[in-house]
Amino acid sequence: MLQIVNTRDGVSPSEIAQATEIPRPTVYRLLETMEQLRFVVRDQLTNKWRVALHAKSLSSGFRDADWVCQVAIPEMVSFGKRILWPVDLMVFQNDHMEIRESTYYLSPYSLDRGMVGTQLPLQDTASGRAYLLFSPDKQRDDVLERLKARSGSNAPLMTPDGSLDQVLDQCRELGVGFRKRGFRVNTMSIAAPIMTGENVLACITIIWLRSALDFDEAIKLYRDPLLRLAERISESISDQGDESLQTT
């Protein structure tokens, strides 16, 4: 049964029962037992089951992305319930930032639905700017060179918040990535990095309505709690001892 869970990206008890021909009540009992042994974990967003970090001791089949449901999502859910604004988990993919998970379903103020999997422009997002700011110098320079080459111009990269160089300087002063303007005209956002060693594994972003909260007030309210959230997730991943995690 553990092999069935391991070979699928999240599986329900009924799917396990169908695949193994084990009665569903027995499947539930076995899942509860394996959960107590820390071999499986239930995804709080989908209510499906995945292989847990501890199962690495049994096989090499553990998927790096499982840190998302085991470490990041519980922290995001707790944080999102406190602040009420949506919280997104963003990952770097092909010189864009992709929404990996979101607490939009918890937020009474969420404007966007079904955004998970959406790719957003790196230089125009708070998460992309946090990714650039906290990445190793060479990695950041390589990404910037690709963005400049794609623009077809030697001029400085521009964003709705000003030149990217100036924006990154402001991010450095604030200690977080930020977006005041851009593709979501009704919102602003800040982002903090989830780190594995010197690399940015992902970024956590808070999005709020500009009509409800000005930027300076949001910084006062949310910057330090967001940084602590990102640090807790980073430390939890490190505590699991998963040295195989890599940025994409």
pLDDT digits (tens, 9 = 90+) for 131-187: 999 999 999 999 999 998 888 877 889 999 999 999 999 999 999 999 999 878 899
CA distance 106 to 239: 28
CA distance 190 to 180: 9
The answer to which of 33-37, 110-114, 175-179, 209-213 has the lowest mean pLDDT is 110-114
For the entire predicted model, the pTM comes to: 0.72
Residue 236 CB burial class (10 angstroms; 0-12, 13-18, ≥19): middle
Secondary structure class of 45 (helix, strand, coil): coil
Higher pLDDT, 214 or 104: 214
Higher pLDDT, 168 or 20: 168
Contacts of 150 (CB under 8 A, 6+ apart): 95
Q: Which of 7, 17, 102, 100 is nearest to 50 (CA)?
A: 7
Mean pLDDT in the chain? 85
For 26, half-sphere exposure in the C-beta direction (CA atoms, 13 angstrom radius) is 8
- DSSP H helices, 67-177, are 67, 73-83, 126-134, 137-151, 164-174
pLDDT at 9: 66
Whether the pLDDT of residue 113 is over 70: the answer is: no
Helix or strand run (H / E) with residue 18: helix 13-20
- pLDDT tier at 97, thresholds 50, 70, 90: very high
Give the amino acid at 218: A
CA distance 34 to 50: 11
Query: Measuring CA to CA, how many Å separate 218 from each of 182, 215, 225, 230?
Result: 17, 5, 11, 17
pLDDT at 56: 53
Higher pLDDT, 4 or 229: 229
Q: Which domains does the chain have, with CATH numbers?
A: 2-62 (1.10.10.10), 66-239 (3.30.450.40)
Higher pLDDT, 93 or 56: 93
32-51: average pLDDT: 77
